[in-house]
Structure formats: structure tokens, C-alpha cells
Amino acid sequence: LAAADPRVLALAAQVTESREQDIPLLLLKLKGILNSASLGSEESKKIKQDIYDYDLTQYCMLVLRQDHSQLRGGWATAAQLAEILSHCCVGLEVKEDAEEFYKKFLPSAIDNLLFLGRRLQARFIRTIKDEEKQDFLHWFQTVTDAICWLFGGHIQLAACVLQNDHFLQLLITDDVETAVMMMSVLHNILRVNSSVLLQVDEETLHSVLDELLYKLSSTTNPVIGNAATKLLLLVAKFCKQLVKLLTARYKGLKGLLSKQWTGKGFDRDLSQLLDLLYLEQSNGKGEVQRQHQAACIIQAMWRGFQTRKRLKKLPQAVTTLQRSFRAKREQELQHLKKQKEDEALKLQMQLQRQRAMRLFHERQLALLEIIHASQVNKYMEEMEGKSALTIQRFWRGYRARRNFHQQRQFLKEYKAAVVIQRAACKFLEKRRRRRPLSPWKDPKGLTDEQRLALQQKVDDYIKLHPASQMSEEMSKELHMQAQEKLAQFLLRSRLDQRAAQRRETLLAQVNTDVELLMNAPGLAETTEKDLDVFMSRSIPVATKARQSHTTMLKYTHWPWWKKLGDEFVEDDVIPDDALNAELGTLFIGGRK
């Protein structure tokens, strides 16, 4: 075996050791290595073989998938790598793993090249500046040339290009320049392999032809029309079977070509295409008439068969139709009946509600006429109280039912747990009764040696941790000191408690005197009764008691809407907020 090219070896080592973003620029050195040998020579084949063996072609193919807008060199590097990849693959004869090269590597290379072409086409369409558009168009042209060079060296890739989804996406575009380039790629495909359209599936063939016919019918640009017409002429010349498809699938093709594209500068190709289409139409007239007659006979036989079959099923069909009609009519009648019942019920409820309101207002007016004017407020308060009681009763009933439904599952689980526990307790009790009592076993005593060892451990611990000793006189003295301190604390706490009670008493007395002085009349209006209030301490107490009693009575006669928040409070309990204002300054007790 001949030694590998040292330049290829050095480049492979650099690619292996370099960072990912530096690999595209390193791979551009392959162009100089390939150009050093003449095309088709043994040296060129040897260099391409070495490049493939050291996986540099795989690197080129994988780099095409990257977004080169973020890499060094940009899209120009990607276009050059596409050209390098196509030159590396054409003229390469792989002997080991040839199936992997022809069945996997080459289709993947075509797919990556077409994917790169789609990216360049999209950026060309989106770009606004003329300089950038020209650059992207040049790079797109380079990629398409690389694709043509690749399937020109490997004819079997022509069908792979046509069946690729990226190729159809590239062809389906409204941009004139890229569309012309893609139609030139299709033109080269047909020149390389004239029967390729017969090798692809029917869906791909129809998609390509539909796009060509769409371009002819949707634009008036002579460049697009010339390219599409040449492609159709090439298809009609190389594939006679596709001429029938064109005349049968596209009925108005001849009229479209003759009316819209005559006199556009490519009349020679246009007239050749029209001659082929008219010739096919004239040759197929006899065949068409024979097929038409056969189709008429088949249709007549089929209609007769269908009519006889329908006549046999007619009674069953009539029965089914009648059944479905009756069912639908019954359903509509039921719906109308239910709707009428709902409307009648709604009207009846509305009338009952109006009648009840009218009776209620009449009863109110009658009672107001009977009741004395001074008793109206009292009656209205009683009615409000009864209404509040009714509302509260219904609300409590609703809440109790709701809580009962919520707690039903919990009660069910609780009862089930009780039953299970009872059964388990009974089972354990029965088992305990059946189990025989085990004879009593005396605990094993210590041997003499164990007892001596344990006593030795106790003695050692006492020696290490001696207890503090205290005499009897010291113990008594400590007890006496504790008793004295306890007596002093109790005496001090009792004195503090008495002082606190006296302070509270004085405060209450001062508050009461202040309130009496603030509420007292002036000296000109003072009477003996007012003097008695300040002379005796029992009169203020009685006055405050009377005021508190009045406050309680007022609270019991409050309307229902003021006591909504206190529905769970007992009847004899009055809120602290209502009494604080009246009893806050009340002092009960004598003067010291």
C-alpha cells in the first residue's frame, strides 16, 4: 500500500485537535490539495481516497448543516466547502464499504447541499441591500453547480435529488433568479439521466410538472417562460410516455402556450413543444374513441347492476326511512311538549309570585289601616324580626343539609373503621384466649464471678466520682435561709397585690368623678338632687346600673340585619363592644 499524502495527514491532525468553530476554515485547505493534481489522474484519485479515509469528507458534509452566520468565514466558506465536497466525491472509487458510500454517504451529501441551498435562498429573498443580494446569489449559484457536478459524476443521484423534499421547496419559489437556477439544475438532471422522471414515484413527478405549469400560467416573465418551456420540451423529447400525461392531465396546456407565450423570444422551442402535443393528440384520437365506447359499455352494465340492487333493497329502505322519520317526528313532538310545559310552569310561577306579592301588599295595607299610628314602628320591627328569623331558619337548614352531605362520607368511613376495629379486637381476644399460658421462668441469677466483677465496677465509679458531704448543722442552716427568703417573697407579693388593687380602685373612682363632673349642670341650674349625686356613692352606681340595663334592652330590640354576625352567640350574652361604652367608667365600691 502507498503511503498517505502528508498534507492530508497534517490537515486531519489539525482538524482533530482544533475547536469546532475553526474547522470550516481549516477544511478550505483541501481546495489547494485537490488543485495540486490534474483532474482524473491517478494522483488525484489517491488524494481523494486519502481524504475520504481520514474522514475529511464527512467533516465537510457535517459542517454544511451548521448556521454559518455565527461562524468565522460566513456563508462564503459554506459555499466553498460545498464545492470541495462535490469535487472530493466525483472520481472517488471506494473499494471497502462501497455500499455505505453509495447508499448512505452520497445521499446524505446531496441532502446537506440542498439544505444549504435552501438557507442561502431564504437569506437572498430576505436581504434588502443589493451588494448582499449579489453575494448570496453567487454563493447559491456555487452550491447549485456543486450539486450538478456531484450527480453528474454519480448518475444514480439524479433520482435522489428529484425525490428530496428540499429540492421541491427550492423549486417552489416566486423569486425569478433562484427559480431559473433551480430549473437549470432540473435541466442538467434530465440531460444526465433522461429516464429519471420514470424512475421516481408518481407524486414527485406530478409535483414537478405542476410547478412548471404553475410558473407558465402565473407569470409573464419571458425568462421563466423560456426555462419552463425548454424543460417541458426536453421532457417530451426524452420521455414519450410523459407526453400522454401532459395532454391528459393538463387539458389547457396547448391553449396556454399558444396564447400567452407566442412572440416572447423563444418561438422555436415553443413550436416544437406544440407540435409534439398536437401529434400525440391526433395519434390518440382512435384510442380515445375506443376507450370511450368501452367506458360507456362498462357504465351501462354498472348502472343496470346498481338499479337492480337498489330495487331489491327498496322495501327495506322504505321501512328504514319511515322508522327514522317517525322517530325524528316523535323527538320533535317531545321537545315541543317539554318546551310548552316549561313555559307554562314558568308562567304559573310568575303568576303565583305576583299573586303572593299582591296579597302581601294588601295584607300590609289592611294591617296599617287597623294598627294605630304609634304602633306602626313596633309592628314593622316585629315583622322584620319574623322575616329575619325565617331567613335564618332557611339558611341554617340549608347549611345543615350541606354539612350533612359533606360529612356523610366521613361518617361512613368512621363507622367502617369502628366495625373493622371491633372485629379486629374480637379476633385478637379469641386468639389470646386460645394461646396457652407459658410456664414462668425464673430469671437467671448472677454467678459469683459476675457479682464480684460488678461490685468492682461500682467501687471504681464511686472512687472516681466522690459525693459531696454536708453536715447536719449546715443542712439545717440552709433550710432556715430558704424559709426566710420564701416568707419575704410572699409578704412582698401580698403588699404589691394590695397596692395594685388600691391603684385600680383610685383610678376607677377618679374616672367616675370625672364623668360626673363633665355631665353635671352649671351652678345656676344645680339642685339638691345633683348635690346628692356627689355626696353619696350609691346614686352613681344605681345610675350606671340603670344605663347598662337600658343598653341591654336596646341590644335585644336591634333589627335583624344588625345582628347577622352574632347568630351563633347565645341570647343572654351581650357583645363587649356594646357595653364598653356604657360600663367603661363604672365604679362600684365605697369611698375609702
The pLDDT assigned to 587 comes to: 41
**Rounded (5°) CA angle 425-427-429:** 65
The pLDDT assigned to 361 comes to: 85
The pLDDT assigned to 418 comes to: 92
The pLDDT assigned to 417 comes to: 92
pLDDT in tens, the chain (592 residues): 456 777 877 877 877 887 877 777 877 777 787 777 777 677 778 877 777 777 777 778 888 787 777 777 788 888 888 888 888 888 777 777 777 777 888 888 888 888 888 888 888 888 888 888 888 888 888 888 888 887 788 888 888 888 888 888 888 888 888 888 888 888 888 888 877 777 778 888 888 888 888 887 888 888 888 888 888 878 877 777 777 777 777 777 777 777 777 777 777 877 777 777 777 666 655 566 677 788 889 999 999 999 888 888 888 888 888 899 999 999 999 999 999 999 999 999 999 999 988 998 888 788 777 877 777 788 888 888 988 999 999 999 999 888 888 888 888 888 999 999 999 999 999 988 887 655 555 556 678 888 899 999 988 888 888 766 677 888 888 889 999 999 999 999 989 999 998 898 888 778 877 877 787 777 777 777 777 666 766 666 677 677 778 888 887 887 766 765 554 444 544 454 544 444 444 444 443 3
- The closest of 263, 269, 264, 273 to 242, measured between CA atoms, is 273
The model carries a pTM of 0.46
User: Is 54 within 8 Å of 15 (Cβ atoms)?
Assistant: no
Where does 127-266 have alpha helices with state H?
Answer: 130-153, 157-163, 165-171, 176-192, 196-199, 202-218, 222-238, 240-249, 253-260
User: Is 273 within 8 Å of 232 (Cβ atoms)?
Assistant: yes
b/e code 119-140 from CB counts within 10 Å (16+ = b): bbbebbeeeeeeeebebbbebb
b/e code 11-47 from CB counts within 10 Å (16+ = b): bbeebeeeeeeebbeebebbeebbeebeeeeeebeeb
The pLDDT assigned to 12 comes to: 78
